[in-house]
């Protein structure tokens, strides 16, 4: 057996931080790093395997022969194996062959810190380094304004493998191709941000990327790591922020992955009540172990640091917060206080958010959290978890349930729409119409709507108009913007051919214009997370299924009055109370001809009357088009 050359990138300070769970730049030390040692170029390897009695690097440079390059275990009890192999460089493929002290188990594992992985179904790691020349300094300098809570925040959620395919060869678009087509499309649609479903390396396509193996490597399906950086750079060039889905909640048990890594439960919790996710048949990180906290927080920082991500949408937060998540009685054990909260996971989340915002105060972390756990998006000093925003799952469920109802029944269910305003400002909410709502038999968004084709698309336009004028940030999944009529299929491209039909083109134009309206009107974003930014005019007209409200900005002159007619019945001479005397002008109408609406009513300037209505001294009459939203401002 041949030992590798003794060398270390770790200082004693690094080791102490790692053991304490406070080293948040572990990617600078672990993994494979191309260096020059004693005048000889090669690669330094470091892996954490405290239950191993021998670790070898096997790869295409030693014919995968175990023992040819055996790593050296550190003397300090850290469980780190390391060493330098001359002549190994960029592009060489490798794994770690690990002999465990437990029953002499032998495993062959991919590098948890690999910067690049082989294209699935191959499973080896690749020695890699790039010297990408970033060109987004201007964006980074100014992104605090673009990512602020008082700025417009509309997100286009994308699955890179199915957004669009190269038709002739039926293949994925590459990162480089997407840097042209996708970037231009998102910019044309006026979204402020794009969100990628997980792009970290994953072995199994049907997982959509939510079962990760290569936590530090962009998936090889679409190209090289520097090509992904180029894609991010191009978004920044267009003034668009990039959010990444991040999955610290669970990981798959694939043989080459993190599970039973060194013959012991190293990354996963050894107790199945905390270490195995029954729904997803996956393993759960051991959040109480310091080194695991350092691994995960380092990974969050890695994507913000090395790939210039502008935020992380953290997946399945609810499953991390509760010990009894998706478990029956007897399948979980209460915490030390007798409660159901997973205290170690909560501490990890707080530590993660603390470090992210300390290092990158101009980014956002967004929690996909479906319970009523308090203060998810409130500061840690105020007893919160420290996220910047939280998905408003209640709004999404109630709103889709309402819009699925035949209009004749909606008068009995208006509370489904108004209820969200009772709690809309308890968190910094993002309104999501995500991929989860268009899979597994739930139907496409437009196909949830009742009525004939015209009514279904009118309902779709009304739903989106309600979403964009409701307080909170916005998120829309790919295909929803043009009324895709089939459920999302990760294996095929979106149905772009539908845009040849006016009804689909109209829906797309509406979303484009709603994004423009959202960015243009300060009242729709300046106080989107504050009760000061919203005021009802009338939420009680159940009989006509009409709702009216005011969105407010910093200046009264920016206020926007919103009117929703939630049935297909046009209503002429419909009176609403308004805040003060004056003349209103129409700034948006979802029933316009260019959206494939009926275009039956057009409002020029509307003058107020001194006539009390809705508890206000001044009022005016409007003509309400069917299944439509109208927005007005004072002249």
- Pairwise CA distance, residues 384 & 376, whole Å: 6
Helix or strand or coil: residue 302?
helix
Q: Length of the chain in residues, anyone?
A: 635
How many Å separate Cα 475 from the centre of its chain? 9
Q: Return the bridge partners of 96, or none.
A: 57, 109
- H/E stretch holding 161 reads none
268 is catalytic: no
Distance CA 569, CA 561 (A): 21
In this structure, are residues 598 and 591 in contact, taking their beta carbons and an 8 Å threshold? Answer: yes
Spot the catalytic one: 291, 368, 538, 586.
Answer: 368
CA distances from 337 to 330, 341, 343, 400, 435 (A): 17, 9, 10, 38, 37
208: its two tokens: 């959509």
Is the distance from CB of 453 to CB of 446 less than 8 angstroms? Answer: no
d(CA 15, CA 523): 51
Question: How far apart, in Å, are the Cα atoms of 562 and each of 203, 323, 545, 558, 633?
Answer: 47, 43, 14, 13, 9
CA 313 to chain centroid, in Å, comes to: 3
In the residue annotation, 368 being an active-site residue is answered as yes
Going by C-alpha positions, the residue among 98, 97, 4, 96 that lies closest to residue 42 is: 4
Catalytic residue among 315, 416, 481, 586: 315
Q: Cβ distance 407 to 567 under 8 Å? A: yes
Beta bridge mates, 56: 70, 97
Catalytic residue positions, numbered: 315, 368
């Amino acid at each position: 057996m041949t030992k590798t050359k003794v060398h270390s990138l770790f200082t004693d300070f690094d080791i102490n931080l790692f053991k304490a769970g406070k080293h948040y730049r572990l990617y600078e030390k672990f993994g494979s790093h191309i260096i020059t040692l004693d005048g000889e170029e090669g690669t330094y390897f470091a892996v954490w395997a405290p239950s191993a009695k021998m670790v070898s690097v096997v790869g295409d440079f030693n014919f995968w022969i175990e023992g040819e390059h055996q790593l050296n275990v550190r003397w300090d009890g850290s469980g780190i194996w390391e060493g330098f192999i001359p002549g190994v460089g960029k592009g060489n493929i490798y794994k770690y062959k690990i002999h465990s002290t437990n029953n002499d188990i032998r495993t062959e594992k991919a590098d948890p810190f690999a910067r690049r992985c082989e294209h699935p179904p191959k499973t080896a790691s690749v020695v890699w380094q790039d010297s990408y020349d970033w060109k987004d300094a201007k964006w980074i300098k100014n992104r605090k304004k673009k990512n602020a809570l008082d700025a417009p925040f509309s997100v286009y959620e994308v699955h890179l493998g199915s957004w669009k395919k190269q038709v002739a060869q039926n293949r994925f678009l590459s990162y480089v191709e997407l840097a042209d087509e996708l970037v231009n499309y998102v910019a044309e649609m006026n979204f402020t941000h794009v969100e990628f479903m997980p792009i970290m390396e994953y072995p199994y396509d049907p997982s959509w990327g939510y079962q990760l193996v290569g936590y530090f490597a962009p998936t090889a399906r679409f190209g090289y790591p520097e090509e992904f950086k180029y894609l991010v750079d191009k978004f920044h060039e267009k003034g668009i922020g990039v959010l990444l889905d991040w999955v610290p909640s669970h990981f798959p048990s694939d043989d080459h992955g993190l599970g039973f890594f060194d013959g012991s439960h190293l990354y996963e919790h050894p107790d199945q009540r905390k270490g195995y996710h029954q729904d997803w048949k996956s393993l759960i990180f051991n959040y109480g172990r310091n080194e695991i906290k350092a691994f995960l927080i380092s990974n969050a920082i890695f994507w913000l640091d090395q790939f210039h991500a502008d935020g992380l949408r953290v997946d399945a937060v609810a499953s991390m917060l509760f010990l009894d998540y998706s478990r029956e009685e007897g399948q979980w054990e209460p915490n030390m206080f007798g409660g159901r909260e997973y205290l170690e996971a909560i501490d990890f989340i707080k530590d993660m958010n603390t470090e992210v915002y300390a290092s990158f105060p101009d980014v956002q972390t967004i929690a996909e959290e479906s319970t009523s756990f308090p203060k998810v998006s409130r500061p840690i000093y105020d007893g919160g978890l420290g996220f910047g925003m939280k998905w408003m799952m209640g709004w999404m469920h109630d709103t889709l349930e309402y819009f699925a109802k035949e209009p004749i029944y909606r008068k009995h269910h208006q509370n489904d729409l108004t209820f969200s305003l009772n709690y809309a400002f308890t968190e910094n909410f993002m309104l999501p119409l995500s991929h989860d709502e268009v899979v597994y038999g739930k139907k496409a968004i437009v196909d949830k709507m009742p009525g004939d084709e015209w009514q279904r698309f009118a309902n779709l336009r009304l739903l989106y108009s309600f979403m964009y004028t409701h307080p909170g940030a916005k998120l829309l999944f790919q295909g929803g913007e043009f009324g895709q009529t089939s459920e999302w299929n990760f294996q095929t491209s979106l149905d772009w051919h539908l845009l040849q039909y006016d009804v689909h083109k109209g829906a797309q134009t509406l979303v484009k214009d709603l994004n423009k309206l959202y960015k243009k009107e300060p009242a729709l974003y300046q106080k989107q997370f504050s009760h000061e930014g919203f005021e009802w005019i009338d939420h009680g007209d159940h009989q006509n299924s009409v709702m009216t409200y005011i969105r407010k900005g910093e200046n009264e002159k920016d206020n926007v009055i919103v009117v929703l007619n939630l049935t297909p019945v046009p209503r002429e001479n419909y009176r609403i109370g308004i805040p003060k005397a004056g003349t209103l002008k129409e700034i948006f109408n979802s029933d316009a001809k260019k959206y494939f609406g009926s275009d039956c009513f057009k409002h020029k300037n509307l003058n107020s009357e001194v006539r009390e209505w809705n508890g206000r001294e001044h009022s005016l009459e409007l003509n309400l088009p069917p299944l439509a939203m109208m927005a007005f401002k004072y002249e």
